[in-house]
Structure 1
């Protein structure tokens, strides 16, 4: 891929737009699906809970979430209007159980302690002020709630050519330090490894990622 192509890919991974964004949203759902489902399993979702996913993309995995327990309510919030529209379209059968909300990426437009479980996968690289945003997540999470934050480790991510453009990368200790600066008090770290298809071609690569399970 040429430099300009990599920049466009990076921009659309951060904030998918238009036809190219729809295409990249589909690719993201395909390449991240096992990472996403593993993160959602880590939430230990129970009946009657309200789940918030930050940056769900096209939410092609929503059915898998709703099948985990009874009487769930799901909210997906994204900075991309393209992804919001795609998620609504793909999940129209679940509109009585799921909402998809557009926001500006800094303040979560919800009341304090609105959610039982919160998850975000591969979004932390784009947070402008990570500690402030973690505190926003803390605010809208119930006291007994669980927040799962999943990210590709720096050593792996640095090998991907598009991460040179406006990605902030973290290793485990850097991410743990970041979380410790927020209001959150407890976290558990687990590492995972999987083989995935590259976003820049057809080759397969070994992805190493971390799931942080975070509590108040």
Structure 2
């Protein structure tokens, strides 16, 4: 029988999901990679990565999906961006173990200002990070700034009605439905060109079997 999680346990899970740190953060990141890999791979597939693309991922975790991404095309340059120092270090270790350091770079940032030039990135994706954005409208403006004019941004998130059932989801999360995302994007330079809804059975971070509904939104400007 699995141990019942206490309120303190649930709070710790929420804190680690928003910004993994220390040895516990490394454990949570391994779990996140396993549980989110189908969401991440589906997002990567929809980027339609081409040879020589510069790809930015916002909130890469331990980057256990890096090899899958780099195998999409030739001469890709991947840039990973994180607010978590622990995840930044774990991703660098993972990249080095794959021998892909020549094709990758990892940077830390403040969660608000992207440290890149205007029109410098071909494709951007982010999975399960929007819940923690400090100012979503301003941040989408910032993503638009660094994305090339013919670029694409993939925004992937679990649906609000699913997230509300998870016991560790509390004040650090801002939840979204498809309608919420449409309203958000309407106030930015982006337009939604496609919305893909998916459903899968997973074991939650609280140890329960759950049906997760998630959405991949394709944005262009």
| TM-score tier after normalising by the smaller chain length | over 0.9
- 2:91–2:106 Cα contact (<8 Å) kept: yes
Q: How far apart, CA to CA, are the structure 1 residues paired with 2:110 and 2:93?
A: 21
Q: How does 1:154-165 map to 2 (within 5 A)?
A: 154-165=160-171
| Aligned: 1:194 with 2:197 | no
Q: Which residue of 2 aligns with 1:94?
A: 100
- 1:7–1:165 Cα contact (<8 Å) kept: no
| Aligned: 1:207 with 2:216 | no
TM-score normalised by structure 2 residue count = 0.96
Q: Specify the SS of the correspondent of 1:164.
A: coil
Partner residue of 2:52 out of 48, 59, 76: 48
CA shift at 1:165, angstroms?
3.3
Q: Which runs of 5+ in 2 are unaligned?
A: none
- 2:191–2:220 Cα contact (<8 Å) kept: yes
| Aligned: 1:120 with 2:126 | yes
Q: Which runs of 5+ in 1 are unaligned?
A: none
Q: Specify the SS of the correspondent of 1:167.
A: coil
TM-score normalised by structure 1 residue count = 0.98
Residues 125-163 of structure 1 deviation map (CA, whole Å, 9 limit, x = unaligned): 000100000000000100010000000000000000111
Counting matched residue pairs gives 215
Residues 67-106 of structure 1 deviation map (CA, whole Å, 9 limit, x = unaligned): 0001100000000000000000011011100001001100
RMSD: 0.8
Partner residue of 1:57 out of 57, 61, 66: 61
